[in-house]
A = this chain, B = another copy of it.
Amino acid sequence: MPIITYREALNQAMREEMRRDDRVFLMGEEVGYYQGAYKISKGLLDEFGPQRVLDTPITELGFTGLGVGAAMAGLRPIVEMMTFNFSLLAIDQIVNSAAKLLYMSGGQCKVPMVIRGPGGAGHQLGAQHSQALESWFCHVPGLKVVTPATPADAKGLLKSSVRDNNTVIFIESEVLYGTKGEVPEGENLIPIGVAEIKRPGKHVTIIAHSKMVLVALDAAQQLEKEGIEAEVVDPRTLRPLDTVTLIDSVKRTNRAVIVEEGWPFCGVGAQIADTIQLHAFDYLDAPILRVTGADVPMPYAKNLEHMCLPDKERVMDAVHQVLYRK
């Protein structure tokens, strides 16, 4: 299987879907002539032309709403948020239009749209450019939320998202763009709503999504040396959440650690913890622990930023705790 970057995987997914279906178009800041702020759309303007690859003014609310309208009227927009931090300006159109039009219209107005871009922290980008807001989108009925961690998932899930007839919030990661992995060639759709066990294990379940999956796998590898077999489960899709796979894993390991980059209070991990205690109450041998981003706006200073982000060590500590190893 070819080994490509997460960036290239996303690029292939968009290219293939745009070739397959003329109604698919890409819109966002710098996606065209500039080839994308993070070069995800490299070459797409050349291949598909300015009718289908549109550079927008800096008007997140306007062009996201325009995308929703275009989707209502039969197109299949891919809207790139240069980063998801800027989606806050568009959130009214995402929540009040994209997520509700189908329901409010009694099923008449479908909004097949993908809103994609990097979420979470980069490197020292400061408080306004380092937010992981997936729990917000997960809260909203009518939206689907996808957070791939590997190139293969990125490609397979983006293709499925573009074909989905609902609005999909597709959250990537600046830090993952350069990572490499095997990606099957051609048509390989990964269904939305299906988790994957990234690493099997029987002593503890570590649940992580997006780049935290890599942190979890790191920790698992290290733990193995201590004879601790951690199972790493990646939901891949946060909404709808594949609770069956998560619960099944916890029922086998009886212990759970949830890792997320975002803020702790009302984070996605809280919902996952609630789901686990509800469905696996009698199987739990220890409280569910969460490893999250620090409960602060992201500081610029490197040393402070480092303290904010979950790392291998903190995940291992949590695992030790749920195993009462210290």
Residues of B near A281 (CB, < 8 A) are: 284, 286-287
Q: 8 Å CB contacts to B: which residues of A125-169? A: 126-128, 131, 133, 135-136, 138-142
A75 in the interface (beta carbon within 8 A) = no
Residues of B near A262 (CB, < 8 A) are: 139
Q: Could you tell me the distance between the alpha carbons of A290 and B278 in the complex, rounded to whole angstroms?
A: 9
A266 and B266: CB pair below 8 A?
yes
B271 and A278: CB pair below 8 A?
no
Residues of B near A128 (CB, < 8 A) are: 96, 100, 104
A297 and B139: CB pair below 8 A?
no
Residues of B near A32 (CB, < 8 A) are: none
Q: Could you tell me the distance between the alpha carbons of A92 and B127 in the complex, rounded to whole angstroms?
A: 13
A127's partner among B91, B103, B274 (CB-CB below 8 A) is B103
Looking at the assembled complex, report how far the CB atom of A310 sits from the nearest CB atom of chain B, in whole angstroms: 16
Q: How many copies does the complex hold?
A: 2
Using C-beta atoms within 8 Å of the partner chain, give the interface range for chain A.
Answer: 35 or more
Residues of B near A142 (CB, < 8 A) are: 297
Q: Could you tell me the distance between the alpha carbons of A279 and B241 in the complex, rounded to whole angstroms?
A: 25
A139 and B96: CB pair below 8 A?
no
Asked if A127 meets B139 with Cβ closer than 8 Å, knowing A239-B265, A270-B274, the reply is no
A139 and B273: CB pair below 8 A?
no
A188 in the interface (beta carbon within 8 A) = no
Instruction: Output the nearest chain B residue to A138 by Cβ-Cβ distance.
Output: B266
Q: 8 Å CB contacts to B: which residues of A149-202? A: none
A3 in the interface (beta carbon within 8 A) = no
B273 and A265: CB pair below 8 A?
no
Q: 8 Å CB contacts to B: which residues of A276-299? A: 277-279, 281, 284, 286-290, 295-297, 299
Asked if A103 meets B263 with Cβ closer than 8 Å, knowing A95-B88, A277-B287, A281-B286, the reply is no
Q: Could you tell me the distance between the alpha carbons of A239 and B104 in the complex, rounded to whole angstroms?
A: 32
Residues of B near A239 (CB, < 8 A) are: 265
Instruction: Output the nearest chain B residue to A127 by Cβ-Cβ distance.
Output: B100
A77 in the interface (beta carbon within 8 A) = no
A96's partner among B88, B95, B287 (CB-CB below 8 A) is B88
Asked if A297 meets B135 with Cβ closer than 8 Å, knowing A263-B141, A273-B270, A290-B274, the reply is no
Q: List 16 A-B contacts (CB under 8 A).
A: A61-B89, A96-B127, A103-B297, A135-B139, A139-B262, A139-B266, A141-B265, A142-B297, A239-B265, A266-B267, A266-B268, A266-B271, A267-B271, A273-B278, A278-B287, A278-B288
Chain A interface (Cβ within 8 Å of chain B)? 61, 85, 88-89, 91-92, 95-96, 99-100, 103-104, 126-128, 131, 133, 135-136, 138-142, 239, 241, 262-263, 265-271, 273-274, 277-279, 281, 284, 286-290, 295-297, 299
Question: Which 4 pairs of residues, A with B, have the shortest CB-CB distance?
Answer: A281-B287, A273-B274, A88-B92, A139-B266
